[in-house]
Amino acid sequence: MYSDELLVSIKNYLRQDGTLTAYFSGQQFEDQQLLGELAIVLIISLLLLYLILAAQFESLIQPFIVLSILPVGLLGSLMALWWSGQTINLVSTIGIIVMAGITVNDAILKVDTINILKKRMPLLEAIHQAGTKRLLPIIMTSVTTMLALLPVLFASGLGAELQQPLAYAVIGGLTMSTIGSLYFVPLFYTLNIRQ
């Protein structure tokens, strides 16, 4: 079984001799490197998303309202992976990124609709109207994605176990973030706009 302590002890033992060197390679090391690169790409993409949303909404606060839904979706993905006994690996990380894209899209729809309606009516009424107008599109987007991934959970055969972490991450994250898009985004909008 791989462990960092074992790796360090082997390197230290070989350094004592001075004539031997060791090089470690394999899927585990490649996956660690890819996860590190994926984390950097994720941070850069969130920064670019924030800048694009700031330009779209002409506000520095509203992009935070949209991005505030991401921790809720991440929590749902991690809970689903834990519940199913899956690990955080490259495939599940890709599932989390897919879930984040769908989640952010739902939150953008909600905030944009509130902004449009707020010009014609009071804030609370605009939030209620936006919730009514965007309820069906948000739920349909999430449910169709979850139903499309459901067969992956019950598939068997070559490659099925490889795809299951992605499905669990997306389904778990979308379940939590759909609830968050419907309730937390309007709450954060109300709290931030009134200040």
Parse the chain into domains and list their residue ranges.
28-194
Query: Which pLDDT band holds residue 60 (cuts at 50, 70, 90)?
Result: confident
**Whole-angstrom Cα distance, residue 62 to residue 45?**
17
Q: Is the pTM of this model over 0.85?
A: no
pLDDT per residue as tens digits for the range 117-149: 988 989 889 889 988 888 898 889 889 999 998
In this prediction, residue 78 carries a pLDDT of 93
Cβ pair 171, 84 in contact under 8 A: no
- Range 103-129 burial, b when 16+ CB lie within 10 A, else e: bbebbbbbbbbbbebbeeeeeeebbeb
Tokens coding 122: 């009071």
Give the span between the Cα atoms of 78 and 169, in whole angstroms: 7
Q: Which CATH architecture has domain 28-194?
A: Up-down Bundle (1.20)
